[in-house]
Amino acid sequence: MQALDKPCAIPPGRYDISYLPKGGLSVKIFTEWKPKPGANKIQLSDHLGTAIVFGDELPRADSIVLTEESDPGPHEKGHVAVQKVADYKSELIAPAGFYSVWIVPSNGVKAQRIAERIRIRAGRETRVGE
């Protein structure tokens, strides 16, 4: 068995590399990544950033959802979540880019977009509703 704290050999080939945050959705970092000879290090902060939603003035949420800007929103046809968390002040981890933030209220009413065109930058934290 390979020790988790030791480097391991990767067979030649191309790989899709994703990161799965605890309690969140899998986030693709690379498609068709090909390792170079020798050591290969992937620094997550070079590719991923976070958004944190502060919900002090917002309704109790069943979930907080990060989507592409043009997404129609949770429970709508064509909706695709980029990231999802259950609680306010949890990290929504996503690739660098522009996104919308939706709140799915716990009382069952329609989801509401609370922020559009937020910018997530690699290695940085974006605060929403602070």
Coil, strand or helix at 44: helix
Coil, strand or helix at 22: coil
55-64 pLDDT, tens digit per residue, is: 888 888 999 9
CA 11 to chain centre: 28
Q: Residue 76 has what DSSP assignment?
A: S
Average the pLDDT over each of 37-46, 88-97, 112-121 and give the range with the smallest value.
Answer: 37-46
φ and ψ at residue 44, rounded to 5 degrees = -60, -35
Distance (Å, whole) CA 78 – CA 68:
11
The letter for the amino acid at 107 is N
* Domain 47-128 fold: Immunoglobulin-like (2.60.40)
Q: Which residues contact 70 (CB under 8 A, 6 or more apart)?
A: none
Q: How much of the chain, in percent, has pLDDT values that exceed 70?
A: 98
pLDDT value of position 6: 77
Mean pLDDT across 92-101: 96
72-89 pLDDT, tens digit per residue, is: 999 999 999 999 999 999
Domain boundaries, the chain: 47-128
> What pTM, to 2 d.p., does this model score?
0.86
- Res 50 pLDDT > 80: yes
Hey, what are 62's tokens? 């069943």
